[in-house]
Amino acid sequence: MDRDHYSRRMIDFARVARNDGDQLYSVLPELIADNRELMELGYLVPIAQPTANIVMGAIHYLLLKGVDSPVQEYYGTLTDTPRPPDDELRSHLLEFCRENREDLEDLCKTKRVQTNEVRRSIFLLPSLTYLHERIGPFQLIELGTSAGLLLNFDQYSYDYSHRDTILGSGPLVLQSEVRGTPPPLPGSWPQVIRRVGVDINPLYCHSDDDKLWLLALVWPGNLPRFNRLREALEICTSSQLELVKDDGFTNITGLLEQYSYDVPTVLYHSFAINQIHREARDKFYNDLRTYATTSGKTIYEIRNGWHPDDSIDIELRVHSPQSSETTKLADVHHHGEWISWVAP
Ligand SMILES: C[S@@+](CC[C@H](N)C(=O)[O-])C[C@H]1O[C@@H](n2cnc3c(N)ncnc32)[C@H](O)[C@@H]1O
């Protein structure tokens, strides 16, 4: 990829941040794209990783870690009264990047975008409720689990806008606007016999470094999201999540054979399958169909992510020995801000 392409990725990121109202990230990536020395960091990011997210994450990570610099004054995640981007930001940034060059280079070369958005539980819960009503207790395997925070969906509380009461008693309350038909919600949590998170590079909530990287990936203009993640990581440290390091999409057959219990298997993945290339995706679906046919078992796949037209929904795909059928469950906001249930 030519160097202009990396710069364009930075500028595109700034545009998205502007639309999202993130003051600092509307400016910071453009400052970097405009400066040859700073852009050298972007060239180090592996091609398959989103350049700007990694460079922004690397800077944020060091600041969260406590590296002292005037740059921290611009971050809403580091001060209650963040300084709006101004003429001095460029020189502060240059100085910060010069002083921390080695660490920044190392982070840019090695880190991945693994954002774990706990508020996606807002649509995972009704999807699992919908399935539980139909198939009873199940085992849950999440592909692309990151730190596995979504596997803890029954440790959070839920404030859906159409209800007067909060569901659950956990300390972290996830709020969401319900648009149109209310989603199915449980009287008691769906019964999950076993839960396993699979990731090509699992992150551990017991690791300070992994926690910091997850927090660093959150945009500094979105403090509620940052705080939500911090709380979910706290909850996670007292849970016993089973996380497995594997290429979950390529090795789906091996995983299904390994976790072959008498209860039905629910596969969940959100914003992960888009990180693999098209041939790998086709192979994943072929493997699922072949597994269902040869084992005689039905696999229930809940998939959340973008469609090629940029719409985002949540779908249930039932891979039975006879056929594969898709039901759209809901349209959703990618961070769970709202949900619009559509399944019958
Ligand atoms: C953007 S994160 C989403 C995490 C979580 N599903 C969520 O919605 O909060 C995508 C995750 O997928 C993982 N991933 C990408 N390709 C993978 C693969 N082939 N097998 C397993 N995990 C993969 C990444 O490492 C990353 O942790």
Q: Distance, CA 61 to ligand 1 centroid (Å)? A: 20
* Residue to probe by mutation, ligand 1, list 49, 119, 146, 247, most atoms within 8 Å of CB: 146
- In DSSP terms, 327 is beta-bridged to 316
Q: Distance, CA 228 to ligand 1 centroid (Å)? A: 19
Q: Distance, CA 275 to ligand 1 centroid (Å)? A: 7
DSSP states of 243-311: EEES-TTTTHHHHHHHT--SS-EEEEEES-GGGS-HHHHHHHHHHHHHHHHHH---EEEEEEEE-TTS-
- Going from the C-alpha of 111 to that of each of 21, 213, 219, the distances in angstroms are 26, 8, 16
User: How far, in Å, CA of 96 to CA of 88, rounded?
Assistant: 12
Place of tokens 């990011």: 45
Q: Read off the tokens for 150.
A: 């979504």
Atom 12 of ligand 1, residue of closest alpha carbon: 144
Radius of gyration of the chain (CA): 21
The binding-site residues of ligand 1, defined as CB within 6 angstroms of any ligand atom, are 112-117, 120, 143-146, 150, 198-201, 247-249, 270-272, 275-276
218 and 77 in contact (C-beta within 8 Å)? Answer: yes
Q: In a 10 Å sphere around its CB, with 0-12 CB exposed, 13-18 middle and 19+ buried, how is residue 23 labelled?
A: middle
User: How far, in Å, CA of 90 to CA of 92, rounded?
Assistant: 6
Neighbours of 227 (CB within 10 A): 14
Atom 13 of ligand 1, residue of closest alpha carbon: 144
The residue extents of the domains of the chain are 3-110, 118-341
- The top-level CATH class assigned to 118-341 is alpha beta
Q: Distance, CA 306 to ligand 1 centroid (Å)? A: 14
What is the sign, positive or negative, of the torsion defined by CA atoms of 23, 28, 29, 34? positive
The pLDDT profile of the chain, 344 residues, written as one tens digit per residue, is 677 888 999 999 999 999 999 999 999 999 999 999 999 999 999 988 999 999 999 999 999 999 999 999 999 999 999 999 999 999 999 999 999 999 999 999 999 999 999 999 999 999 999 999 999 999 999 999 999 999 999 999 999 999 999 999 999 999 999 999 999 999 999 999 999 999 999 999 999 999 999 999 999 999 999 999 999 999 999 998 999 999 999 999 999 999 988 899 999 999 999 889 999 999 999 999 999 999 999 999 999 988 877 789 999 999 999 999 999 999 999 999 999 999 98
254 and 198 in contact (C-beta within 8 Å)? Answer: no
Which ligand 1 atom sits closest to the C-alpha of 276? 16
* Residue to probe by mutation, ligand 1, list 200, 246, 255, most atoms within 8 Å of CB: 200
E-assigned strand segments in 144-264: 157-160, 173-178, 192-199, 242-245
- Going from the C-alpha of 72 to that of each of 13, 83, 91, 153, 276, the distances in angstroms are 20, 9, 13, 33, 34
